[in-house]
Structure 1
Amino acid sequence: MIEVRGLTKRYGPKTAVDGLSFAVRPGLVTGFLGPNGAGKSTTMRMILGLDHPTSGTALIDGRRYDRLRRPLTRIGALLEAKAVHPGRTARRHLTWLAQSNGIPPGRVGEVLDLVGLESVARKRPRGFSLGMGQRLGIAAALLGDPRVLIFDEPVNGLDPEGIHWVRHLMKRLAADGRTVFVSSHLMSEMALTADHLVVIGQGRLLADTSMARFIAENARTFVRVRTPEPERLRDALATAGIEARQGPEGALEAERPPAGPAELAARIGELAAERGVVLHELSPQRASLEEAFMRLTHGRVEYQAREG
């Protein structure tokens, strides 16, 4: 388990992390989201003892990182895949890490095989592609078979097969009861991977909730309807307590919380049939993680481009 309590980090007049508190629990993949400059990397570095907080604490199973014996057996992390000695082969790099933490040497071959790098184990990482470097970084994180794992942009540079592999790896680790904390800018991938979300903006906590609740609370779910008789359909929907507002391209956007989009679409179809109203389109529009994230973090982006 990871516990962050009142964590604050200032660099001169700039506050990168501002009184942040949350917990990352075992058995779930917890996504860590925020705009660029939100303080995600700084927070992860403080959890791992790479940066010292101005105030507050970050604990791993109740202890600070610098108080852990053989830390790679307690927490594994991928923050910067290129943080590898250029003169060592992939196997020697992992062997050195294993020796420094009392990890049996046989574990090196196991993780190389797990991440698909056994065939290049004797090559130096400076010749690796970005995706191969990511795999080596994941191997290092898994080396000590830790119960707590932190991954920063783990699918960066991976091909579709690699992305699919990482997604299922995260889920397997969580299903095994491990604590899995993942930061990524790929909303579509995070939506498929994470069970829970911690969202920050400008160093402050914006949300700490399940994926489903986050989307439900921060994005619209509605049914898009197109008909040549919009007024007749509006009247029919109004009698059933369904709100319909004008949408783009002459369509109507209908809502009736807490009904789900599929249930609402079926009811609209029934009402249209009862009134003899012709429908050209009846399509449920489900809320997305990207839409929810953009709505919540709007105005908390450090660098924002203008639309041309």
Structure 2
Amino acid sequence: MIELAGLTKRYGDKVAVDHLTFTVRPGVVTGFLGPNGAGKSTTMRMILGLDHPTAGDVRIDGTHYDRLKDPLTYIGALLDAKAVHGGRSAWNHLLCLAQSNGIPSSRVAEVLETVGLTAVARKKTKGFSYGMGQRLGIAAALLGDPRIVMFDEPVNGLDPEGIHWIRNLMKSLAAQGRTVFVSSHLMSEMALTADHLVVIGQGRLLADTSMADFVRANSRSYVRIRSPQRERLLDVLHQAGITVVEAGGGTLEVAAGKPEQIGELAARNGIVLHELSPQQASLEEAFMQLTAEAVEYHAHAGPAAVPQGWGAGWKGA
């Protein structure tokens, strides 16, 4: 379990993390979401003792990270896939970590097999692709067989097979009763992986809830209807006191409507329906809705301005 209480980090006048309080519990995959600059990486670094909080507290299974004996056996983390000495082989990198935390050397072979790097175990890591580096970082996180794992953007650089593998790995770890805390910008992937969400914006907590409740609370649900007897259907729905919005292409929308009720009304009145489908926003749409006011860096549509004097032929660096 990871527990944050009033966790705060300031860099001069800049507040990167602002009184965060939440608990990451075992048995579920908890997604950690927020726009760029929201404070996610800083929060993860404070959990691992890499940055010291200005105020507040964070504990790993009730203990501060710097007081954990052999911390890799408590919490394993992937924060930066490139945090590896390029002159070392994958095997030696993991062996050094194992020896520093009292982990049997036999565990090195086990985690290399788990992440699919056995064939390149003796190769120097400077020749690894980004995806191979990600796999090595995940192997390091799993090395101590920890009860808690924490991943920052774990699918970066992975191919589709690798993404499918890490998704199933995180679910499997949670099913074993471990605490799984993962940050990602890939909303479609998070929607398939996370059970619970912690969302922050500009360092502040915006949501701490289940995936289903988050989407439901931050999006519009409606029933979409299409019928060749559109005008008759409109009359029937109005008579039943159901508010209908006319959308484009002859489509009708009923906000927060029940498709069963609409289908039964249509059937009783002999109305043919070509479509009767409940609609719910995606995680991405719900996330954008919630964090719209907390985005620090805004891009704008349209051609980027070329610095004066560079001329029409300038193509940038």
State whether structure 2 residue 297 is matched by structure 1 residue 269.
Answer: no
The 10-residue stretch of structure 1 (176-185 or 280-289) with the greater mean CA deviation from structure 2: 280-289
Corresponding residue for residue 29 of structure 1: 29
Please show how residues 26-65 of structure 1 align to structure 2 within 5 Å.
26-65=26-65
SS at match of 1:298: helix
Which segments of structure 1 move beyond 6 Å, counting only runs of 4 or more? none
Separation in 2, partners of 1:307, 1:228: 39
List alignment gaps of at least 5 residues for structure 1.
258-263
CA distance in 2, matches of 1:276, 1:139: 62
Which piece of structure 1 moves more, 3-12 or 230-239?
Answer: 230-239
Question: How do 1:145-164 residues align onto structure 2 when only pairs under 5 Å count?
Answer: 145-164=145-164
**Structure-1 separation of matches of 2:132 and 2:267:** 57
Provide the secondary structure at the position in 2 that maps to 1:303. coil
The CA distance in 2 between the partners of 1:249 and 1:50, in whole Å, is 55
For 2:147, the aligned partner's letter is: R
Q: 1:287 is matched with which residue?
A: 281
> 1:301 maps to which residue?
295
Aligned to 2:95: 95
Distance 1:172 1:241, change over 3 A: farther
CA contact (8 A) 2:5 2:56 kept: yes
1:11 is aligned to 11
2:83 corresponding residue in structure 1: 83
| Stretch of structure 1 that moved more, 57-66 or 267-276 | 267-276
- Residues 40-94 of structure 1: per-residue CA shift (max 9 Å, x gap): 0000000010111111111101111111110001100000001001110000000
Output the amino acid matched with 1:274: R
Aligned partners of 2:222 and 2:279 also within 8 Å: yes
Aligned to 2:315: none
Following superposition, the deviation at residue 219 of structure 1 comes to 1.1
Please give the residue correspondences for 1:229-240 in structure 2 after superposition, counting only pairs within 5 Å.
Answer: 229-240=229-240
Larger CA deviation: 96-105 vs 279-288: 279-288
Q: Assess if the C-alpha contact under 8 Å between 1:219 and 1:292 holds in 2.
A: yes
In structure 2, how many angstroms separate the alpha carbons of the residues matched to 1:307 and 1:226? Answer: 34
1:222 paired with 2:222, answer yes
Q: Which runs of 5+ in 2 are unaligned?
A: 303-317
CA contact (8 A) 2:223 2:256 kept: no
Measure the CA separation in 1 of the matches of 2:241 and 2:182.
42
Give the match for residue 176 of structure 1.
Answer: 176
The answer to whether the 8 A contact 1:81-1:136 is kept is yes
CA positional deviation for 1:272:
2.0
Output the amino acid matched with 1:288.
S
Do 1:242 and 1:255's aligned partners in 2 also have CA atoms closer than 8 Å? no
Structure 1 residue 224 displacement after superposition = 1.2
Residues 262-290 of structure 1, C-alpha deviation per residue, up to 9 Å, x if partnerless?
xx334323322322334343332233111
TM-score w.r.t. length of structure 1:
0.94
Alignment partners' CA distance in 1, 2:240 and 2:197: 36
Deviation at 1:307, TM superposition (A): 3.0
Quote how far apart the aligned CAs of 1:129 are: 1.1
In structure 2, what is the equivalent of residue 116 of structure 1? Answer: 116
CA deviations over 1:201-225 (Å, ceiling 9, x no partner): 0100000001111111111221111
Report SS of the residue matched to 2:155.
Answer: coil
Structure 1 contact 86–125 (Cα < 8 Å) conserved: yes
Give 1:246's aligned amino acid.
Answer: E
3-state secondary structure, aligned to 1:306? coil
| CA shift digits 1:189-239 (9 cap, x unpaired) | 111111100000010000000111111111122111123544432332234
| TM-score for both structures, normalised by structure 2 | 0.92
Percent of aligned pairs with the same amino acid = 72
Q: Aligned residue for 2:253?
A: 253
AA matched with 1:174: A
State how far apart, in whole Å, the 2-side matches of 1:233 and 1:17 are: 53
8 Å CA contact 2:221–2:256 kept in 1: the answer is no
Aligned mates of 1:278, 1:171 — CA distance in 2:
43
- Which residue identity lines up with residue 270 of structure 2 in the other structure? G
Query: What corresponds to 1:261 in structure 2?
Result: none
Name the SS for the 1:243 alignment partner: coil
| Structure 1 residue identity aligned to 2:15 | T
Give the corresponding residue for 2:196. 196
* 8 A Cα contact 1:75 1:146, kept in partner: yes
Paired positions, count: 302
The equivalent of 2:308 in structure 1 is none
